[in-house]
C-alpha cells in the first residue's frame, strides 16, 4: 500500500521538489531561470504559481472504466500535472488488505497515504485521486510528483490474489495512462513500489508477473 506522507525517502532530482510555496517566496526568480532554460520550463513555472489551477470537477474520472471515491485531502496534494510536473512513471502497489479496508484507509485523514487507483480482484477499478494531483503513494516526493500509483487488492505472498480479471483491468488502465502522458510501456517506466529509491516496501512481490503485465499493457495500447 502507499507509503505515508509526501516527504519520505530520497528526493532524487531536485526539480520535481519545487512547491507553490517556494514559487511564492521566490518572487519572479523562477521565471528568470525558466526563461533561460526554455519555453517548456517557463510554462511549468507558471503552473506552480499559487492560485493558478486548472479547472476541475468533483468526481470527474480519468479512466472511463473506474468509479469515483475521494481520498481524504490530507492524503494527496493538489497539482496541475502534467503542466507543472511531468508524469513519466507508473508505480505498481499491492494493498496488503481487502478492497473496502483499502478504500477506507485512503479516506482516513490520519492515514497520510493514498493512490490514484485501486484495482480489485474482480477487475473493478476505484479512482480516489485525480491524475492531475499528487497522491502520497511512493514514500518519495520526487516519484510521487512524477507518477501515477495503482494499488492491487491482495497480499504479496498469495499468488492467487493476482487474478486474470485484475491483470486485464490494470493493463487497460496502465495503457491509458501511458497513452495520455506518452510513457513507454516498459520496466524502466512501470515500476514496483519496492523499486522506488528509499522504499521500505516489498510490493508487488515475487508473485507479480511482470512479463505478462508489460505484455498486456503493450497489447492494450491504442494503435
The helix-helix angle for 29-37 and 39-47 (nearest 10°) equals 150
Model pLDDT, residue 17:
44
Instruction: Report the alpha-carbon distance of residue 34 to residue 49 in Å, rounded.
Output: 13
Grouping H, G, I as helix, E, B as strand and the rest as coil, residue 150 is strand
Question: What size, in residues, is the chain?
Answer: 223
Confidence of residue 4 (pLDDT cuts 50, 70, 90): low
First to last CA, the chain: 32
Please state, in angstroms and rounded to a whole number, the distance separating the CA atoms of residues 76 and 135: 4
Q: Give the E-state strand segments of 75-172 in sequence order.
A: 76-77, 89-94, 117-119, 125-127, 134-135, 147-152
Tell me the pLDDT tens digit for each residue of 131-160: 999 999 999 999 999 999 999 999 999 999
Q: Please give the C-alpha separations between residue 199 and each of 20, 29, 72, 117, 154, in angstroms, as whole numbers.
A: 26, 33, 23, 20, 19
Do 49 and 20 form a contact (C-beta atoms < 8 A)?
yes
20-24, 32-36, 161-165 — most confident range: 161-165
Q: pLDDT tens for residues 32-79?
A: 544 545 666 666 665 566 666 778 887 899 999 999 999 999 999 999
Rg (CA), the chain: 17
Is 162's pLDDT higher than 90?
Answer: yes
**Other C-beta atoms lying within 10 Å of the C-beta of residue 69:** 14
- When pLDDT is cut at 50, 70 and 90, the band that residue 217 belongs to is very high
Residue bearing the bigger pLDDT, 6 or 145: 145
Is residue 127 over pLDDT 60? yes
pLDDT at 29: 52
What percentage of the chain exceeds 90 in pLDDT?
72
- Give residue-wise pLDDT tens across range 74-100: 999 999 999 999 999 999 999 999 999
pLDDT score recorded for residue 22: 44
pTM of the model: 0.82
Amino acid at each position: 500500500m502507499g507509503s505515508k506522507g509526501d516527504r519520505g525517502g530520497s528526493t532524487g532530482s531536485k526539480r520535481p521538489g519545487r512547491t507553490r510555496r517556494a514559487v511564492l517566496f521566490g518572487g519572479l526568480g523562477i521565471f528568470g531561470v525558466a526563461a533561460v532554460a526554455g519555453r517548456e520550463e517557463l510554462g511549468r513555472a507558471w503552473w506552480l504559481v499559487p492560485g493558478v489551477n486548472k479547472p476541475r470537477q468533483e468526481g470527474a474520472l480519468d479512466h472511463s472504466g473506474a468509479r469515483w471515491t475521494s481520498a481524504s485531502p490530507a492524503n494527496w496534494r493538489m497539482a496541475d500535472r502534467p503542466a507543472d510536473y511531468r508524469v513519466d512513471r507508473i508505480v505498481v502497489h499491492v494493498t496488503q488488505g481487502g478492497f473496502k479496508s483499502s478504500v477506507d484507509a485512503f479516506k482516513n485523514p490520519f492515514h497520510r497515504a493514498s493512490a490514484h487507483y485501486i484495482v480489485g480482484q474482480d477487475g473493478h477499478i476505484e479512482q480516489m485521486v485525480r491524475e492531475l494531483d499528487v497522491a502520497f503513494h511512493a514514500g518519495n516526493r520526487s516519484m510521487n510528483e512524477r507518477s501515477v500509483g495503482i494499488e492491487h487488492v491482495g497480499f504479496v505472498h498469495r499468488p492467487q490474489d493476482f487474478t486474470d480479471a485484475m491483470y486485464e483491468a490494470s493493463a487497460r488502465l496502465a495503457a491509458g495512462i501511458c497513452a495520455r502522458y506518452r510513457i513507454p510501456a516498459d520496466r524502466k517506466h512501470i515500476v514496483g513500489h519496492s523499486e522506488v529509491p528509499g522504499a521500505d516496501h516489498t510490493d508487488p512481490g515475487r508473485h507479480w508477473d511482470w512479463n505478462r503485465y508489460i505484455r498486456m499493457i503493450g497489447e492494450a495500447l491504442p494503435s
